[in-house]
Amino acid sequence: MTQLTFGKKIKELRTKKGLTLDQLAATTGSSKSYIWELENKDPPRPSAEKLAAIAAALGVTTDYLIGREEVTLADAEDKAFFREYSQMPDDTREKIRAMARLLGGKKE
Is 20 inside any structural domain? Answer: yes
- Residue with the bigger pLDDT between 96 and 106: it is 96
Q: How much of the chain is in helix, strand and coil states, percent to nearest 5?
A: 65, 0, 35
What is the DSSP secondary-structure string of 5-19? PHHHHHHHHHHHTT-
Is 13 inside any structural domain? Answer: yes
| Residue 1 pLDDT | 40
How far CA 77 is from CA of 27, 34, 58, 59, 106, in Å, comes to 18, 24, 9, 6, 24
Is 108 inside any structural domain? Answer: no
- Read off the pLDDT of residues 3-43 as tens digits, 9 standing for 90 and up: 678 899 999 999 999 999 999 999 999 999 999 999 998 77
Count how many domains the chain has: 1
Is 1 inside any structural domain? Answer: no
Q: What CATH number should be reported for the domain holding residue 73?
A: 1.10.260.40
Is 103:92 a contact under the CB 8 Å cutoff? no
- Residue with the bigger pLDDT between 32 and 72: it is 32
Helix (H, G, I), strand (E, B) or coil at 44: coil
